[in-house]
Amino acid sequence: MVAFACKAENNIPIDPDSPAVTDTQFRLLGDTNDVSTITSGGTCLMGGSTDVDAAFKWMIAKSGGGDFVVIRSDISYGYNPYVRKLGGVNSVETIIIASVADAKNPLVATKIRNAEALFIAGGDQKEYVTYWKDTPVEEAINYLINTKHVPVGGTSAGCAILGSAYFSALKGTVTSVQAMHNPYSSLVALGYDDFIYNPFLQNTITDQHFSQRDREGRLVTFMARMKSDQGKDPRAIAVDEQTAVCVDQDGIAKVYGLNNAFFLQSGSLAPEACQSGTYLTWNQNKEAVKVYRIAATTAGNGSFDLKDFTTASGGTWLWYYVDNGVFYTN
């Protein structure tokens, strides 16, 4: 078993705790030899806070015991011993990608492409969008999802960038009240179809820390913007803290952990009011957005088919709507 940290450029060891470190960093725990295993595609959407062991074990099983890679922009290596302790992997390596230059380092893309599982840590999705979009890192992530077919997941900010639509946080975070009171505020910074491509997350946006941070209103606002901006019927997946949605290679989702996950879809009727400087109204007879809620369990609960966003079991249907800037559940 080997653990090390090195500069990408010249393989000179560095102190990973040094506050002065600015170069791309790699730290690996386990076998340094690259292996090739039989993998199975999947997506893990985790809601933040305490990580869900069962979801990581699900990813490890789909990796076939290969090399597990974690990417992030802040200097932390906590996932290395955590994932390694869960067992069943050849190695765990954390890659710090903290600038566009880091993202263009050829070794970074090579290591990502060689992974049998990839996890995007929490942090600040503004940095992920700013540093990684339109770089070889983006290409490598999409290669893993669509060509190599390995499990790819993320928590909190790492989950936020996995949908075809995403909240970029380029102007900072936004609360439900702020979003519903002005859907076109600069704080409601959304990106569409220009970053990560996952076939089961097309026309879909994700949100995390969902119930704990009262994000229901802002997610409905994100969907209202998608409806108004793109003219499509948007979908969303929202995940509570200490909870994970695991989507298999056939697009079937199960929910692991302690709290709830929510699968949202709009009908064909557009918001009654979704303009800059006005309060959002998306009421439609109190049936603006249809929601399926699944309570998580340690063993994984429920079933939701992302291919049709209709076939489901183990949960409860409800409705969300917004009237004059106020969120309601029906």
Task: Report mean pLDDT in 10-residue bins for the chain, 330 residues.
Answer: 30 35 74 96 98 98 98 97 98 98 97 98 98 98 98 98 98 98 98 98 98 98 97 97 98 98 96 98 98 98 98 98 97
User: Tokens at residue 243, please?
Assistant: 């909870």
CB 5 within 8 A of CB 16: yes
How far, in Å, CA of 49 to CA of 217, rounded?
A: 21
- What is the number of residues in the chain? 330
How far, in Å, CA of 228 to CA of 242, rounded?
A: 32
Q: Where are the domains of the chain?
A: 1-162, 168-330
Phi-psi bin for 64: left (phi > 0), alpha (psi -120 to 50), beta?
left
**Backbone dihedral angles phi then psi of residue 265, each to the nearest 5 degrees:** -145, 140
E-state strands within 223-288? 235-239, 243-247, 252-257, 260-266
- Output the CA–CA distances (angstroms, integers) from residue 9 to 4, 14, 75, in the order listed: 15, 12, 18
pLDDT of res. 128: 98
How far, in Å, CA of 218 to CA of 232, rounded?
A: 18
- Domain 1-162 sits in CATH at 3.40.50.880
pLDDT of res. 11: 31
Q: What is the 3-state secondary structure (H, E, C) of 116-134?
A: CEEEECCCCHHHHHHHHCC
Helices (H) and strands (E) in the chain, counts: 9, 19
Q: How distant is the alpha carbon of residue 217 from its chain centre?
A: 19
H or E, element range at 101: helix 100-103
